[in-house]
Amino acid sequence: MSRSIVLALALILALGLAVFWVLSTPRPLTVADIPQHTPNLANGEVLYHAGGCISCHQPSPDLAGIENTVPAGGAPLHTPVGTLYPMNLTPDPETGIGKWTDLQFLNAVQRGISPEGENLIPALPYTSYAHMKPEDVLDIRAYLASLPPVKSPEREPDITALPLVRRGVGLWKWVGLDTTPWTPDPSQSESWNRGSYLVNGPGHCQECHTPRNIFMARNASKAFAGGPHPEGKGRVPSLLGLIERGRYTDAADLASALANGEALGYDKLASGGMGQVQRNISQLPEGDIQAIADYIASLK
Ligand code: HEC
Ligand code: HEC
């Protein structure tokens, strides 16, 4: 090869790397994005359950004497890219999030960016949490800060070429992360709108119930249509036409199913992570469970 061709190739490679570097760089929220807000612990607790934080941030089995309702982190979460150990969300200053600023918390939960400025793996469903009201996210933080601190050291994910994967996630965010805030539909009832918010924001129901396109981004044209399970095993059912198909008699029946799960004789509410989702929903106020059901029952 002539020297000029080698030089040209090296230049193209360098340019490609530079473009990759720029496009994969995290784009965080700034102090100006933090709303003026007085934290509301009760609201934070509701949103914490709606967000299902405990499903993934379970205490590691090595932590003796810690109840599995405490989000001390460290339990394995298996994903197609490898195993992650979602971290300690209790206010322990050394191993938890006790020393975090509000901005760091908002950036992790709503933009998928760690305090170290790295992209987080979207196994943390920030792609849904991004649509939440930041005030609600700050309330979750306030609720977490009110829990007893637990020492539970962070464990690195078992993922090959992790730093490269994190950069790759930055590139993926251009197609996979939509940060548009949720807005109400004025033609619908208050309950439907509350349900729409809970389902599409904190509840992250679409992360499993909406199939993905070739870029592993949610396929908006097939919202809630079900498909292969994103964790790699089995399928997730469609949530479209649940009443019309006779899965539930009406929205009240669906609300009862979500509140009580298979214990009350309903089926298809336990496997593939849905059991944990159902247990989290059952912690919500009755009105919120009905709101989720009203919204889901309207999906055609
Ligand atoms: C479906 C699983 C899942 C759910 C649900 C979930 N997380 Fe996570 N979370 C993760 C994973 C996995 C990571 C680590 C991602 C990584 O290392 O790239 C993480 C990381 C985090 C981090 C960053 C910690 C750090 O040290 O960088 C915070 C903060 C966090 N989650 C808060 C929450 C909150 C608050 C909720 C509920 C509203 C929540 N998570 C729900 C899986 C989940
Ligand atoms: C972690 C993935 C996951 C998430 C997140 C998730 N689901 Fe599911 N869902 C499933 C799976 C898997 C099933 C099937 C379970 C079975 O067959 O035992 C299911 C089943 C259901 C069913 C029963 C469908 C039928 O045909 O009767 C309903 C209703 C439902 N989910 C609602 C929701 C709602 C509402 C949310 C959000 C609050 C949600 N799901 C979030 C995975 C998920």
Give distance in angstroms: CA of 239 to centre of ligand 2. 8
Q: How far is CA 263 from the centre of its chain?
A: 26
| Percentage of residues in the chain having pLDDT higher than 90 | 96
Residue type, 63: L
Digit-coded pLDDT (tens) for 7-52: 999 999 999 999 999 999 999 999 999 999 999 999 999 999 999 9
pLDDT at 1 over 80: no
Average pLDDT of the segment spanning 198-225: 96
R_g of the chain, CA atoms, integer Å: 21
Digit-coded pLDDT (tens) for 144-181: 999 999 999 999 999 999 999 999 999 999 999 999 99
Pairwise CA distance, residues 204 & 8, whole Å: 46
Pairwise CA distance, residues 227 & 62, whole Å: 35
Residue 84: partners with Cβ closer than 8 Å, 6 or more residues away: 76, 77, 121, 123, 157, 158, 159
Compare 80 and 74 and report the one with higher pLDDT: 74
Digit-coded pLDDT (tens) for 218-236: 999 999 999 999 888 899 9
Mean pLDDT in the chain? Answer: 96
Q: What is the reported pLDDT for 246? A: 97
The answer to whether 291 and 253 have CB atoms below 8 angstroms apart is: no
Q: What is the reported pLDDT for 58? A: 97
Give the residue, out of 274, 280, 283, 296, with the most ligand 2 atoms within 8 A of its beta carbon, to mutate for a pocket test. 274
Give distance in angstroms: CA of 163 to centre of ligand 1. 18
Average pLDDT of the segment spanning 73-81: 94
Q: What is the reported pLDDT for 283? A: 98
Residue 95 Cα distances to 90, 104, 153, angstroms: 9, 15, 5
Average pLDDT of the segment spanning 77-87: 94
| Tokens representing residue 272 in the block | 């593939």
What is the torsional sign of CA 110, 199, 205, 219?
negative
The answer to whether 266 and 242 have CB atoms below 8 angstroms apart is: no
Please state the atom number of ligand 2 nearest to the C-alpha of residue 50.
Answer: 38
In the chain, the N- to C-terminal Cα span, in Å, equals 61
Digit-coded pLDDT (tens) for 83-135: 999 999 999 999 999 999 999 999 999 999 999 999 999 999 999 999 999 99
Pairwise CA distance, residues 269 & 13, whole Å: 50
Q: Which of 294, 291, 257 is nearest to 277 (CA)?
A: 257
Q: What is the reported pLDDT for 231? A: 86
